[in-house]
C-alpha cells in the first residue's frame, strides 16, 4: 500500500449528468419500503475490476459477496456486453478471483486466483470454450501481472522468497528503517521484483533486482521496454521519492541497467504509455517538504529521454489520479476530487485544457478506456452502491451516462434510503465549510432529531457523494447524520488541506462545532441529543472534540490516536511525523500539543473506544490509554478490542458486532434507549 494517510474502511463541467435511473423512489413508494438493517450490509454486493475487451464489445468485471455465516468473502468474474444486455458469470460459486484482464488478442480472460499452497497464480479462461487453466506456476505466488501487447509474454510482480526455515521459528531480526506495516507485520528485505514469463515455453526471466520495491509495470506499445515504479534512493524507507524506470523485457537483471525516466524528488507513479510509444503520462507530487498525503497530485507527461516533464494540471489546485490515454493520444482521463464530488475529467495533451464529462452529485471510483474511446466508469451515488456506467461519446461530446450493471437492484428496491443534502456554512474564521446531511425516513421539519456528527478518516481525505452504508444505517435508525468536510480535508486545494499543519485537533475541532451549530440552527438537531464518532482520524478527531466541549451526549472513538508520541516507531508513519511534526526529541512540545490524551481529564461524554488488536496503522494502545484514563477518572466508558483484527475490521462477524455496538452506544446515550445494544461478547459482563 502506497497511500500515506490514517485511512478508514476507504462538479461542474461540460455535462451535468442526471441521477442514475432506478435509484430514487416517490414518496408514495417510500411508504411501502422498509428501513435499512445491519444484515443488509452482508447482502449488498460490490462491483469492481472493470476491463474492456480488445474489440470493445465486452466488459469484464468482478462482483464481491459476503458470507456472514461462514465469515468469508467471495469475488466472482462476470462479463457483460458494452452495449448492454445480460451479464454472464465466468467463474463458479465457491471460488474467488482478483485482477481481471484480457489477453491483447482477445482470446483469454485472465485473473489471479489462489492455487493452494502456491499462493496467487495467473489463470486463463479460453473464450472459445473450456475450463480455466493455470498459466503460471510460481512457487510462492505472485502479486500482479500485465500482458505484453503481442499476447506472448506476461510481466509478473513476484516477491523474493522467504529464506528456508529449519526447525522452530526464530526471532524477527530487524534492520530496516520502515520495519512494520499493518496486515503484513514486521518487514524483511524480501522485495517485489519484475519477471517476464513466456506464455508458450513457460520460461521466465527476472528483469529487476535490488533492495527496492518494483511495481506498476507498463509495457510500451511495441513491447520493447517496460516502465515501472521504484524508489531507488540510498534509503527508500526515509522518503517518498519514487521514480519511473525502464527495463528491457528479455534481459536478465544481471545484464540490465534500468533507465531512470523521472528525476523529481517527490513521488512519480502510475505510468501509462502514449500510443506513440515515446511519451509517458503519470502522476507526480512536486513539494517533498510537505507530507506526501497533503499534496495535490499533478498529471504530467514526459518524453522518454528528456529530463523535464510537462505538468498538465499544474494550475489546478486539486488532486488528480488514475491517468488513462484516449486511443488517439490527444487526451488523458483522470479522476479529480472537488468539493465532495469525484469527477471523471479529461485533459488535453496539447495545452492541458480540462473538461469534466462525468460530474454531478456522485463519486467516480475508477474508469477504463476501450479501443474505440468508450469509457466504462464505476460510479457511486448517495443512494446507489457503485455500479458500472458507460460513457459512449468522445471527450467533448454532449452525451450522458448509460447504466450497465444492476447487481443490487433486487435488494435496494425493498429499502428506503436517505439522500444526501449539501450544506455550506462559515467556520470561525469565515472559511466556507461543507457538510453532507442525511435525514431519517419520514423526516418532519417541525421535529428536532437525535443527531450524529460522523467524522471521516485520513485527515486529508474528503467525504463525497458516494454510497455510505454506515451513515445510511444511522439515518434508518432515526438519526440526522452530519458528515463535515472540516479544514484539513481534501477536495478544496492545498491551503485548505494544510489548515491544520502541525496543529491537529484545532481548526478541525472548531469546524465540527460549527457544523453542529449549523444543524441546530436549521432546526434539524436536538441540542440535548447529540452524538459524535468516527474511525481512524475520525476517531482521533472525536477524541479531540470531546476534550474541548461537553455538549455531546455520547461518543464512539474508532481506531483513533491519543498520545501521538506513543506511536513513534510502533506504526508506519515515521516519515510523515518527521516531515510535519519534526522528530519527537527535537519538537516534543508540538507532539504534546496535538495529543488529545493530554486533555483527557476534560472529557465528560460517555465514550466507546473500539479497534483491532493487531492494528499497526493506529495501534490499539491509543484506545487503551484513553479508556484507562477515563476509568481512572470515573467517567462512563467502554473498550472493545477485536482479536487478530487490523485497522480495517474485515471479519464479517466482527463487522456485524461493530455496527450493532455503534447503534447500541448511540441509542443508549444519545437517544436514551437500549433497544439496539448487542449482547455481551466473550468475557464481557452483561
Q: For residues 637 and 320, give the distance between their C-alpha atoms in angstroms, rounded to a whole number.
A: 41
Each residue of 447-464: b (16+ CB within 10 Å) or e? ebbbbbbbbbbbbbbbbb
pLDDT band, very low/low/confident/very high, at 394 (cuts 50, 70, 90): low
Query: What's the average model confidence in pLDDT over 407-425?
Result: 98
| Weakest mean pLDDT among 278-292, 476-490, 658-672 | 278-292
| Weakest mean pLDDT among 6-15, 34-43, 56-65, 327-336 | 6-15
pLDDT band, very low/low/confident/very high, at 345 (cuts 50, 70, 90): very high
pLDDT attached to residue 165: 73
Burial label for 270, CB within 10 Å (0-12, 13-18, 19+), is buried
Q: Which residues contact 634 (CB under 8 A, 6 or more apart)?
A: none
* CA angle (614, 619, 623) in 5-degree steps: 110
Between residues 167 and 569, the one the model is more confident about: 569
Q: Which three cell numbers stand for residue 665?
A: 452506544
Q: What DSSP line would sit under 568-610, residue for residue?
A: TTTSS-HHHHHHHT--TTT-HHHHHHT-GGGGGGG--S-EEEE
What's the Cα-to-Cα distance from 672 to each of 394, 438, 447, 664, rounded to whole Å? 56, 21, 17, 10
Centroid of chain to Cα 74:
19
Q: For residues 501 and 494, give the distance between their C-alpha atoms in angstroms, rounded to a whole number.
A: 11
CB 609 within 8 A of CB 637: yes
Q: Do you know the residue count of the chain? A: 686
Residue closest to 124 by CA, chosen among 111, 137, 113, 115 = 111
Q: For residues 231 and 235, give the distance between their C-alpha atoms in angstroms, rounded to a whole number.
A: 9
pLDDT at 562 over 80: yes
Question: What's the mean pLDDT when you consider all of the chain?
Answer: 92
pLDDT at 342 over 90: yes
Q: Which residues contact 475 (CB under 8 A, 6 or more apart)?
A: 36, 418, 438, 439, 440, 441, 481
Q: What DSSP line would sit under 644-656, residue for residue?
A: T--SS---HHHHH
Query: What's the average model confidence in pLDDT over 275-296?
Result: 93
Burial label for 670, CB within 10 Å (0-12, 13-18, 19+), is buried
Query: Domains in the chain and their CATH numbers?
Result: 27-162+173-412 (2.120.10.30), 418-671 (3.40.50.1820)
DSSP 671: I
Chain segment 473-532, per-residue pLDDT in tens: 999 999 999 999 999 999 999 999 999 999 999 999 999 999 999 999 999 999 999 999
pLDDT at 29 over 80: no
pLDDT band, very low/low/confident/very high, at 328 (cuts 50, 70, 90): very high
Query: What's the average model confidence in pLDDT over 457-481?
Result: 97
pLDDT at 392 over 80: no
CB 323 within 8 A of CB 268: no
Q: For residues 419 and 611, give the distance between their C-alpha atoms in angstroms, rounded to a whole number.
A: 29
| Weakest mean pLDDT among 154-158, 183-187, 203-207 | 183-187
pLDDT attached to residue 128: 87
The residue with cell 463525497 is 464
Q: For residues 473 and 475, give the distance between their C-alpha atoms in angstroms, rounded to a whole number.
A: 5
pLDDT band, very low/low/confident/very high, at 635 (cuts 50, 70, 90): very high
pLDDT attached to residue 393: 61
What's the Cα-to-Cα distance from 628 to each of 170, 546, 602, 607, rounded to whole Å? 34, 16, 14, 12
pLDDT at 682 over 80: no
pLDDT at 442 over 80: yes
pLDDT attached to residue 540: 98
Residue closest to 352 by CA, chosen among 312, 309, 323 = 312
Q: For residues 598 and 500, give the distance between their C-alpha atoms in angstroms, rounded to a whole number.
A: 18
pTM: 0.93
CB 379 within 8 A of CB 362: yes
Query: What's the average model confidence in pLDDT over 236-244?
Result: 95
Q: What are the phi and psi torsion angles at 75 (to 5°)?
A: -125, 115
For a pLDDT cut of 90, what percent of the chain falls above it? 88
Q: How many other C-beta atoms are found inside a 10 Å radius of the C-beta of residue 549?
A: 17
Chain segment 602-622, per-residue pLDDT in tens: 999 999 999 999 999 999 999
pLDDT at 210 over 50: yes
| 3-state SS track over 367-423 | EEECCCCCEEEEEEECCEEEEEEEECCCCCCCCCCEECCCCCHHHHCCEECCCEEEE
pLDDT attached to residue 1: 30
pLDDT attached to residue 395: 44
What's the Cα-to-Cα distance from 289 to each of 236, 418, 460, rounded to whole Å? 16, 42, 16
Query: What's the average model confidence in pLDDT over 135-156?
Result: 97
Query: What's the average model confidence in pLDDT over 357-386?
Result: 97
Between residues 131 and 283, the one the model is more confident about: 283
Amino acid at each position: 500500500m502506497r497511500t500515506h494517510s490514517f485511512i478508514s474502511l476507504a462538479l461542474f463541467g461540460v455535462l451535468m449528468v442526471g441521477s442514475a435511473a432506478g435509484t430514487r423512489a416517490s414518496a408514495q413508494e417510500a411508504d411501502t419500503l422498509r428501513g435499512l438493517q445491519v444484515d443488509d450490509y452482508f447482502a449488498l454486493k460490490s462491483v469492481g475490476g472493470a476491463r474492456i475487451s480488445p474489440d470493445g464489445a465486452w466488459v469484464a468485471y468482478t462482483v464481491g459477496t459476503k458470507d456472514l455465516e461462514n465469515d468469508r468473502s467471495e469475488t466472482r468474474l462476470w462479463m457483460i456486453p458494452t452495449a448492454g444486455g445480460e451479464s454472464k458469470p465466468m467463474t463458479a460459486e465457491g471460488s474467488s478471483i482478483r485482477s481481471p484482464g484480457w489477453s491483447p488478442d482477445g482470446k483469454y480472460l485472465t485473473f489471479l486466483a489462489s492455487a493452494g499452497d502456491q499462493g496467487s497464480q495467473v489463470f486463463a479462461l479460453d473464450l472459445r470454450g473450456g475450463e480455466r487453466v493455470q498459466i503460471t506456476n510460481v512457487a510462492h505466488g505472485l502479486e500482479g501481472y500485465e500482458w505484453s501487447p503481442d499476447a506472448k509474454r506476461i510481466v509478473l510482480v513476484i516477491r523474493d522468497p522467504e529464506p528456508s526455515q529449519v526447525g522452530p521459528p526464530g526471532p524477527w531480526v530487524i534492520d530496516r528503517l520502515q520495519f512494520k506495516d499493518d496486515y503484513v507485520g514486521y518487514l524483511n528485505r524480501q522485495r517485489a521484483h519484475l519477471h517476464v514469463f513466456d506464455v508458450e515455453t513457460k520460461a521466465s526471466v527476472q528483469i529487476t533486482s535490488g533492495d527496492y520495491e518494483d511495481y506498476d509495470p507498463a509495457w510500451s506499445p511495441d513491447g520493447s521496454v517496460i516502465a515501472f515504479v521504484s524508489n531507488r534512493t540510498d534509503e527508500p524507507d526515509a522518503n517518498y521519492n519514487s521514480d519511473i524506470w525502464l527495463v528491457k523485457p528479455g534481459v536478465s537483471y544481471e545484464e540490465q541497467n534500468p533507465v531512470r525516466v523521472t528525476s523529481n524528488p517527490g513521488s512519480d507513479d502510475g505510468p501509462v504509455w502514449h500510443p506513440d510509444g515515446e511519451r509517458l503520462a503519470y502522476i507526480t507530487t512536486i513539494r517533498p517538504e510537505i507530507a506526501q498525503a497533503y499534496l495535490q497530485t499533478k498529471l504530467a507527461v514526459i518524453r522518454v529521454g528528456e529530463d523535464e516533464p510537462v505538468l498538465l494540471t499544474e494550475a489546478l489546485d486539486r488532486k488528480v489520479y488514475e491517468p488513462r490515454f484516449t486511443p488517439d493520444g490527444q487526451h488523458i482521463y483522470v479522476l479529480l476530487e472537488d468539493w465532495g464530488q469525484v469527477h471523471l475529467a479529461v485533459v488535453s495533451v496539447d495545452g492541458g485544457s480540462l473538461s469534466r464529462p462525468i460530474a454531478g452529485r456522485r463519486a467516480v471510483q475508477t474508469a477504463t478506456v476501450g479501443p474505440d474511446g468508450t469509457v466504462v466508469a464505476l460510479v457511486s451515488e448517495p443512494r446507489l452502491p457503485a455500479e458500472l456506467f458507460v460513457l459512449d461519446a468522445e471527450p467533448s461530446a454532449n452525451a450522458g451516462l448509460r447504466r450497465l450493471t444492476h447487481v443490487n437492484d433486487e435488494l435496494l428496491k425493498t429499502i428506503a434510503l436517505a439522500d444526501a443534502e449539501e450544506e455550506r456554512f462559515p467556520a470561525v474564521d469565515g472559511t466556507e465549510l461543507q457538510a453532507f446531511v442525511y435525514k431519517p425516513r419520514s423526516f418532519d421539519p417541525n421535529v428536532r432529531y437525535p443527531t450524529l456528527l460522523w467524522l471521516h478518516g485520513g485527515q486529508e481525505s474528503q467525504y463525497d457523494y458516494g454510497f455510505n452504508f454506515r451513515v445510511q444505517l444511522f439515518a434508518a435508525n432515526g438519526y440526522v447524520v452530519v458528515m463535515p468536510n472540516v479544514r484539513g480535508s481534501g477536495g478544496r486545494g492545498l491551503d485548505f488541506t494544510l489548515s491544520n499543519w502541525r496543529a491537529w485537533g484545532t481548526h478541525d475541532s472548531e469546524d465540527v462545532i460549527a457544523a453542529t451549530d449549523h444543524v441546530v440552527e436549521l432546526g434539524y438537531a436536538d441540542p440535548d441529543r447529540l452524538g459524535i464518532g468516527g474511525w481512524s482520524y475520525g476517531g482521533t478527531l472525536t477524541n479531540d472534540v470531546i476534550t474541548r466541549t461537553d455538549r455531546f451526549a455520547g461518543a464512539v472513538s474508532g481506531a483513533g490516536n491519543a498520545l501521538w508520541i506513543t506511536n513513534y516507531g510502533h506504526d508506519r508513519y515515521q516519515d510523515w511525523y518527521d516531515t510535519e511534526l519534526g522528530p519527537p526529541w527535537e519538537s516534543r512540545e508540538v507532539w504534546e500539543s496535538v495529543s488529545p490524551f493530554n486533555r483527557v481529564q476534560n472529557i465528560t461524554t460517555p465514550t466507546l473506544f473500539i479497534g483491532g488488536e493487531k492494528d499497526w496503522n493506529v495501534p490499539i494502545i491509543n484506545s487503551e490509554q484513553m479508556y484507562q484514563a477515563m476509568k481512572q477518572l470515573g467517567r462512563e466508558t467502554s473498550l472493545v478490542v477485536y482479536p487478530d483484527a487490523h485497522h480495517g475490521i474485515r471479519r464479517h462477524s466482527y463487522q456485524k458486532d461493530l455496527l450493532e455496538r455503534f447503534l447500541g452506544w448511540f441509542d443508549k446515550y444519545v437517544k436514551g434507549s437500549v433497544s439496539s445494544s448487542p449482547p455481551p461478547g466473550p468475557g464481557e459482563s452483561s
